[in-house]
Structures are given as structure tokens and as C-alpha cells.
Amino acid sequence: MTNVLLTGAAGFIGSKTAELLINDGVNLVACDNFNDYYDVRLKEHRVQHIKSLADIPFYNIDIENYSDLSKVFENHKFDSIINLAARAGVRYSIENPFVYATTNIIGTLNLLELMHKHNVGQITLASSSSLYAGEETPFNEEMPVNNPISQYAATKKSAEMLCYSYHHLYNFNTAILRYFTVYGPAGRPDMSYFRFIKWIDEGKTVEIFGDGTQSRDFTFVDDIARGTILSTNVKGYEIINLGGGKTPVTINYMIELIEKYLGKNANISYKPFHSADMKETGADISKAEKLLDWQPYTSIEDGLRISVDWYLKNKDLVKNIIL
Ligand code: UGA
């Protein structure tokens, strides 16, 4: 792998992946549409960091726009596409499902078509643990995942299936990565831990959907980025879980840790459990261990401490971010 197109490079996982790719000496081309689903200043903050590491071509384009994307493929030769450009909020997909369909499905389709046209042989697609709704934990990749409970999950499943068709037709080497609730520094402000850290520190009410006993197999962003890069060597078509792989933690436990790290108590308001949410997630990561020699190194205790430290160092930025 030498020439890589990374989409969604201003995003949470994308920016960390860009950093590791640059450190690996990869010839990287990046793109992002800088949409305003959440405060663009966070995306600019991440990109500033990437640009401090290397002067890479960075396109401000949308993968939904075939003609803009074509130009990127005309300007550069790629061996690999890492598609991390996506609409990723589970609950917002109920409010605005259309953007999920256009970005996650049409955007992926555009990339696959251009890969065919320009003879690119490998794609890594970011997918989601939310596809496993209704299955028993630990989730493994053989489970049928035919009952998505949010439009978000439905569009991710659709993108996986498009990738399968292109693998079948054109033999693309394809890694579908099902990420399990990725967290870490410079994260997404729609996600639980980001909001909880800010709310607890600012003395605002912490809003929990349900009673906080729902659990997630949280996975630290550095571990995810490393697994994402390893997946570009996968042959054939493989669906691979990248998850914490240990005992999933409850939202309540996460809040306890944040309280401890900030030295402040949370003032909690319990709201109804959200119908697009899963009660628990838990990854069987044996396939990732076998195929990628991957496992996560960062515990939730360490990862949340690093996230709180980032918050404290970047309070000037985060204080203006609207949740
Ligand atoms: C996360 C990511 O946001 C998705 O992009 C990803 O695809 C998914 O994980 C995955 O694993 O595949 P989610 O599990 O909803 O989705 O992550 P959080 O936003 O951290 O929510 C975790 C739990 O906390 C949910 O039950 C949610 O309702 C709850 N929550 C969230 C609150 O109680 N209050 C909030 O303010 C935010």
C-alpha cells in the first residue's frame, strides 16, 4: 500500500487515520466535505494537526458529487481507498434520513464506480456495530444482520452490500470494518462521552437516554486507526469487527470515570430510552486477531483519561461547541 485516498479525513476517525498513514510514509490524498452536522471548528482543528505533519493534497469535496470525485481520481493514482466519509450519528438518522442515504450509499457507490474506472483494487469501508441489533453478544461477523433499527444502520448495511457486489464483479479486495463505539480525543460532539465530559465540567445537566445501564464495547480511536490501516492488506471480501473485545461498559460506569477524572459530580436527567439505540454491544474480535493481528491496547479507564486530558487542554475550543 503506497498511494491511498482517505475520505472523511477531517472526521474523528479519519483524522487519526491520516496521522498514522503519514507517520507510515504513505503517499496520502485526503478529502472531506466539512459538513456542518457538528461544529466545523472541530474539523478544522483536526485538519490543522494533519497539515502540521505533512503537506498532503486535501480536497474539500463531497463523495456524493461524482464529478468532483472523478477529478481526484484523474489527478492521482491510488492503490487503496479508505472510505471513512459518512453520516455517523445513530439518532440523527431518524430526523434526517436522506443525507444518510446520499452520503453512505451514493457516496460509496461513486467511489466503487471510480475504482473500477481507474483500476483501483482495494477498498476499506467503515461500517458499524449497530448492524447487530437484535443479536446476542458477543457479536460475530457470521451473524445475519438483517434487522437494522435505524436508517443509519440500514444505510451502512447497504454500503456493505454494494461493496460485496463490486468485489464479486471486479475482484476488489474489500475490508468491511464494523467499528464499535469509537471514542477518544477530538471526538464527535454528538456522542455520549464527549457531551458528558463537557456537561459535567460545565456543571450542566447530563442527559441520559434510558437509565444508563445500556452498555457499549467502546474502542479507542488510536486502536481503530491502526486496525483500519492494517485492513488495507486484506485479500478477498472480509467483514471484520474492530471492538474493545472485553466486558462492555455501561454509560453509568463511563460517567463515574469522568466524574473521577474531572473531580466533579454529574447532575443527571434521565430521558426515555431511544428506540434507535441498542441496549448493549460487544465484539467478538477473534477474526481481527487472526486476519489483521489486531487487538485494542487501550482500556476504557486509560482512554477516557486521555479524552478528559484532551478536553482540559482544548477547553477554549470545546466551550464554544454546541452540542
Ligand atoms: C456510536 C457512533 O456514534 C456511531 O457512529 C457508531 O456507528 C456506533 O457507535 C457503532 O458502534 O457502530 P452510539 O452507540 O449511539 O453510536 O454511541 P454514543 O453516542 O456514545 O451513545 C451511547 C449511548 O449513550 C446510547 O444509548 C445513547 O442513547 C446514550 N447517550 C448518548 C445518552 O444517554 N446521552 C447523550 O447525550 C448521548
The 10s digit of each residue's pLDDT in 220-230 is 999 999 999 99
Q: Is 166 a catalytic residue?
A: no
Average pLDDT over every residue of 245-254: 93
Average pLDDT over every residue of 198-219: 98
pLDDT at position 247 is: 81
Length of the chain: 323
Q: At residue 190, does pLDDT exceed 90?
A: yes
Let me know: does 279 contact 236? Beta carbons within 8 Å: no
Whether 150 is in the pocket of ligand 1, judged by its Cβ within 6 Å, is no
pLDDT at position 105 is: 98
The residues with which 12 forms a beta bridge, in sequence order, are none
pLDDT at position 246 is: 82
In Å, how far from its chain's centre is CA 139?
A: 18
pLDDT at position 192 is: 98
Residue nearest to atom 7 of ligand 1 (CA): 128
Average pLDDT over every residue of 198-212: 98
Of ligand 1's listed atoms, the one at least distance from the Cα of 217 is 11
Q: Closest Cα to residue 88, out of 7, 167, 185?
A: 7
Average pLDDT, the chain: 97
Percentage of the chain exceeding pLDDT 90: 98
User: Could you give phi then psi for residue 64, rounded to 5 degrees?
Assistant: -70, -20
Of ligand 1's listed atoms, the one at least distance from the Cα of 218 is 11
**Domains along the chain with CATH numbers:** 3-183+219-245+281-296 (3.40.50.720)
14, 21, 45, 188, 311 from 29: Cα distances, Å: 12, 10, 18, 23, 29
- What single-letter amino acid sits at 137? T
pLDDT at position 271 is: 97
pLDDT at position 240 is: 99
pLDDT tens-digit map of 104-155? 999 999 999 999 999 999 999 999 999 999 999 999 999 999 999 999 999 9
Average pLDDT over every residue of 293-305: 97
pLDDT at position 281 is: 98
Of ligand 1's listed atoms, the one at least distance from the Cα of 178 is 12
Whether 234 is in the pocket of ligand 1, judged by its Cβ within 6 Å, is no
pLDDT at position 279 is: 97
Average pLDDT over every residue of 264-275: 98
In Å, how far from its chain's centre is CA 156?
A: 12
pLDDT at position 265 is: 98
Whether 192 is in the pocket of ligand 1, judged by its Cβ within 6 Å, is yes
Backbone torsion region of residue 263, taken as left when φ is above 0, otherwise alpha when ψ lies between -120 and 50, otherwise beta: left
Whether 84 is in the pocket of ligand 1, judged by its Cβ within 6 Å, is no
What H or E segment, with its residue span, contains residue 49?
helix 40-53
User: Could you give phi then psi for residue 91, rounded to 5 degrees?
Assistant: -75, -35
Pocket test for ligand 1, best of 191, 219, 277 (most atoms within 8 A of CB): 191
Q: With a threshold of 0.95, does the pTM exceed it?
A: yes
Q: At residue 1, does pLDDT exceed 60?
A: no
